[in-house]
Amino acid sequence: MNQRPTPPPHAPVLAFDRQGGVLTIGGRDVRDLVAQVGGTPAFFYERAFIEARVAALRAAMPVDIKLHYAIKANPMPAVVRLMAGLVDGLDVASAGEMALALDSGMSPQAISFAGPGKTDAELEAAIVADIILNLESVGEMRRADAIAQRLGARPKAAVRVNPDFELKSSGMHMGGGPRPFGVDAEQVPALLEEMANTRLKFHGFHIFSGSQNLRVEAIMECQEKTMALALALACHAPTPPRMLNIGGGFGLPYFPGDRHLDLQLIGRNLDAVLAQARSHLPADCEVILELGRYLVGEAGVYICQVVDRKISRGQVFLVTDGGLHHQLAASGNFGQVLRKNYPTAIATHIDQPATEKVNIVGCLCTPLDRLAEQVAMPEAQVGDLVAVFLAGAYGLSASPSAFLGHPPPAELLV
Ligand SMILES: *Cc1c(COP(=O)(O)O)cnc(C)c1O
C-alpha cells in the first residue's frame, strides 16, 4: 500500500518524498545524505525543487518579464551557480555577494548592486567589475561619480526609489515612510537632474517595497503603483530607462492556515500592467521581478539529530544538536512578532502517526533556542533525525553562527 499520511497543514512537508518511512531529499534517503556530509546538523537544498519553482514562475509570469535572484536569501555558492543558469540576473547587496555573483558565471551586465551603506571600496569594486549600481542616496551618487572620474569609467546607475506607498501586509516593509533604503520618490527628480551632469549613465529604477507577502491583491496593487511611479519618474530622467526592477516580495506559507500565492492571478494582472506600460517605455527596457525567498525557501531542509530526550514537569523535550545559531528564523527570533512553529517532522519516522506532544529545542544554553513548541509528533528517541522545513532561505547566513561556539553545519545542494 502506498498510502500518503494525513496531509499536514504545511505544503512543504508534502513537497518531499519518503521511502521506507524516511524522508528523502532529491530522491535520497536523508540518513545517507547525513552520512555523506559527515553528520548533523546540516542544510540540504533540493535542486529539482528550485528548478521546478523557477519553471512555474516563468510559466505564470508574462514572457517579457525578467527574473532575478536576490543572493541574500541563500548565498551558498552551489545555489548561486545553479541560479545563475536558471534566472536572468542576480541582485547583490555587498562586495562579498558581488564576488559570489561574478564567480557564478553570470554576466556583469545582469548583476546589480543595491544596499545602503556601500563603502567607497565596494563602489569601486562594482564599477571596475562593470555591474549596475542601484543608488540608495544622493551622497552615494556623488561618491560613485568621484570614483568613476578617478577611474575614467562610465558606470551604469539605477536609482533605488523609496516609494510614497507601502506593500501592504508584508512580513517586512522596505519602502514607504522614512527608510534607510532608496531615495524618497519626491527627491528623485532633483537627483536625476544632478545625475545628468555626472559620469554615471542613467540605467533605470529599482523599487522594492517589501518581503514575505502572501496577499495576492496587495502584491498586484503594489505592482500597479510601482509601475505608475516608475513611469512618472522616467519623465525626469536624462535618458529613457533601460531597466525597471519592480521588486518582488512573494511570500511562502510558513504557518498553519497560510496558503501558497496564486501565481496565475499575479501573472495575469502583471500582463495587463505591462501591456499598458510598454507603450511608454523603450522596446529594449527590461522589466524585472526580483525574488529571493520564493525561489529557494521551500527547497531547503535543516536536519539535526536528537541528542537527549527528557521530561520536564510533564512535557517532553527533544534536545537536538541544531538550533537558532543555524536556523534563527525557525526559533521565531527573526522577524516574527508572535512565535509560531515552522513545519517540522521526525525525518526518520516521517510516515508514523503523531502520538505525543513535544518541544523540540536546540543545544544552545538560552531559552530562545526553540525549534518547535508543543507539536504533535511520533515518538522519537536519541539518534532520530529532526527535519525543519522551509529552511532554504534566510537560514544559515541569517543566523548568529558564532553564538555559543558550536561548529558550523554542513550544506549540500542535492
Ligand atoms: C531582501 C531583498 C530581496 C529579496 O527579498 P525576498 O523576500 O527574499 O524575496 C530583494 N530585493 C531587495 C532589494 C532586498 O533587499
Q: Which atom of ligand 1 is nearest to the CA of 251?
A: 7
Q: Give the Å distance between the CA of 112 and the centre of ligand 1.
A: 13
Whose CA is closest to atom 6 on ligand 1? 292
Note the pLDDT tens digit of each residue in 181-230. Answer: 999 999 999 999 999 999 999 999 999 988 999 999 999 999 999 999 99
Kindly state if the Cβ of 67 falls inside 6 Å of ligand 1: no
Q: How far is the CA of 249 from the centre of ligand 1 (A)?
A: 7
* Angle formed by the axes of helices 120-129 and 95-103, nearest 10°: 20
* Ligand 1 center from residue 69 Cα (angstroms): 9
3 CA to middle of ligand 1, Å?
39
- To test the pocket of ligand 1, the residue of 54, 68, 136, 211 to mutate (highest count of ligand atoms within 8 Å of its CB) is 211
Q: Give the number of the atom of ligand 1 that is nearest the alpha carbon of residue 206.
A: 13
Residue nearest to atom 2 of ligand 1 (CA): 70
Q: What is the pLDDT of residue 175?
A: 78
d(CA 385, CA 390): 16
Helix (H) or strand (E) holding 89: strand 89-92
Count CB neighbours of 385 within 10 A.
Answer: 25
- Ligand 1: centre distance to CA 90 (Å): 11
From 69, 90, 208, give the residue whose CB has the most ligand 1 atoms within 8 Å, as the site to mutate: 208
296 C-beta closer than 6 A to ligand 1 = no
Single-letter amino acid, residue 371:
L
Measured from the CB, is residue 327 less than 6 Å from ligand 1?
A: no
User: Is the CB of 248 inside a 6 Å radius of any atom of ligand 1?
Assistant: yes
**Is residue 53 a contact partner of residue 47, using CB atoms and an 8 Å limit?**
no
294 CB near ligand 1 (under 6 Å): yes
Q: 194: CA distance to ligand 1 center in Å?
A: 28
Instruction: Quote the pLDDT of residue 63.
Output: 96
Residue 136 near ligand 1, beta carbon < 6 Å: no
Report residue 306 as a C-alpha cell.
536528537
- Say if ligand 1 is within 6 A of residue 181 CB: no
Using CA atoms, how far apart are residues 97 and 135, in angstroms rounded to an integer?
17
Measured CA to CA, the distance from residue 274 to residue 224 in angstroms comes to: 9
Q: What is the mean pLDDT of each run of 10 residues along the chain (414 residues)?
A: 45 81 97 98 98 98 97 98 98 98 98 97 98 98 98 98 85 81 96 98 96 95 96 97 97 92 97 95 96 98 98 98 97 89 95 95 97 96 98 97 96 98
| Pocket flag, ligand 1, residue 227 (CB < 6 Å) | no
Q: Is the CB of 70 under 6 A from ligand 1?
A: yes
Q: Is the CB of 292 under 6 A from ligand 1?
A: yes
Q: Is the CB of 72 under 6 A from ligand 1?
A: yes
Which ligand 1 atom is nearest residue 208's CA? 13
Residue 114 half-sphere exposure, CB side, CA atoms within 13 Å?
25
Beta partners for 253? none
280 backbone dihedrals φ, ψ, rounded to 5°? -105, 0
* pTM given for the model: 0.95
Q: Ligand 1, from 291, 294, 334: best to mutate by most atoms within 8 Å of Cβ? A: 291
Q: What DSSP element (H or E) covers 266?
A: helix 263-278
Q: How far, in Å, is the centroid of ligand 1 from the Cα of 291? A: 6
Are 380 and 346 in contact by the 8 Å Cβ rule? The answer is yes
| Residue 256: per-residue pLDDT | 86
How far apart (Å, rounded) are the C-alpha atoms in residues 74 and 62? Answer: 26
Q: At a CB cut-off of 8 Å and minimum separation 6, what does 108 contact?
A: 102, 129, 130, 131
